[in-house]
Amino acid sequence: MSAPVAIVCGSGSLPIEAARELRRSGREAFLVGLVGSAARDIEAFPHLWVRLGEVGKVLAALKARSVEELAFLGAVTRPDLSDLLPDWGAIVRAGEIAKLFRGGDDALLRAVARLFEGEGFRIVGPREFAPGLLAPKGEIVAPYPDEDARADIAFGARLLAATSPFDIGQGAVVSAERALAVEAAEGTDRMLARVAELRAGGRLRLKGRAGVFVKAAKRGQDVRLDLPAVGPATIAAAKRAQLQGLAIAAGEVLIADRPVFLKAAQEAGLFVFGWPA
């Protein structure tokens, strides 16, 4: 039997869903849960709880289990320097770590990945070990977007391509080829909540269902790390913002808790579309 794939687990259900998908494909997962981020449910699988920065402890556990492949899944609150320096494993690498604090989340994750690669691990992405979590192409939840919605999707895709070099959250809400909101450090759910508030407060005067949430990974992003994700909470937020639907980049966006996500979109009357179709 092959060695387990280790998954460093941030918040949400995706790490556990990936572990289940691995098991269905005949492999085992070893879940490294980040205290304060990962869900308790990881304990249903072989696991280890660590704090951010306990690099020495992680390395020892992975070597003891002959792990060769390492993945990162789920969201982690951006750490501050004191979180990253609790043990000697990190302290000896502090020079490298200090460099991470300029630039966006991408730079931070890439450097953490490089640190583990330097120790001989191969970093794997969801496309390799859990492809069933990714958005497919075309109509995911009906209806198929109409001409206006497709124009908004194309506009959003161009906008996200333009902001991509700046390492900001790759999401936007577009209505009638106008960007209503652009996502940065606040994250998708808060951006969608903002659209709901702007509509309720009268600053955005739109009639009925209007606007598409467009989401993609950053161009040139390391697709093994930190792919964007949507889930049932995204549907709830899009419904409150009275959007028409969600357009997510096929093969680039993870869908968490898919059966619940799909049912929620259908019940809310929101289309979900994997672009380009």
Binding site for a second copy (CB under 8 A): 77-80, 101-105, 151, 155, 158-159, 162-163, 165-168, 172, 176-187, 190, 194, 198, 202-205, 207
* AA letter at 117: E
Residue 110 has what DSSP assignment? H
CB of 67 to a second copy, least distance (A): 30
**Which residue number, 185 or 260, has a Cβ lying nearer to a second copy?**
185
Please state, in angstroms and rounded to a whole number, the distance separating the CA atoms of residues 19 and 27. 9
**Which residue number, 59 or 168, has a Cβ lying nearer to a second copy?**
168
Strands 254-255 and 69-73: unpaired
Please state, in angstroms and rounded to a whole number, the distance separating the CA atoms of residues 37 and 39. 7
Length of the chain: 277
CB of 275 to a second copy, least distance (A): 17
CB of 238 to a second copy, least distance (A): 16
CB of 85 to a second copy, least distance (A): 15
CB 211 within 8 A of CB 182: no
**Which residue number, 29 or 210, has a Cβ lying nearer to a second copy?**
210
**Which residue number, 134 or 204, has a Cβ lying nearer to a second copy?**
204
Q: In what order do the strands lie in the sheet with 122-123?
A: 47-50, 29-34, 5-9, 69-73, 122-123
Please state, in angstroms and rounded to a whole number, the distance separating the CA atoms of residues 192 and 170. 13
**Which residue number, 79 or 132, has a Cβ lying nearer to a second copy?**
79
CB of 27 to a second copy, least distance (A): 35
Give the count of beta carbons closer than 10 Å to the beta carbon of residue 82: 9
Please state, in angstroms and rounded to a whole number, the distance separating the CA atoms of residues 73 and 133. 11
DSSP assignment of 162-177: HHGGGT---EEEEETT
Please state, in angstroms and rounded to a whole number, the distance separating the CA atoms of residues 210 and 201. 16
CB of 87 to a second copy, least distance (A): 20
**Which residue number, 31 or 244, has a Cβ lying nearer to a second copy?**
244
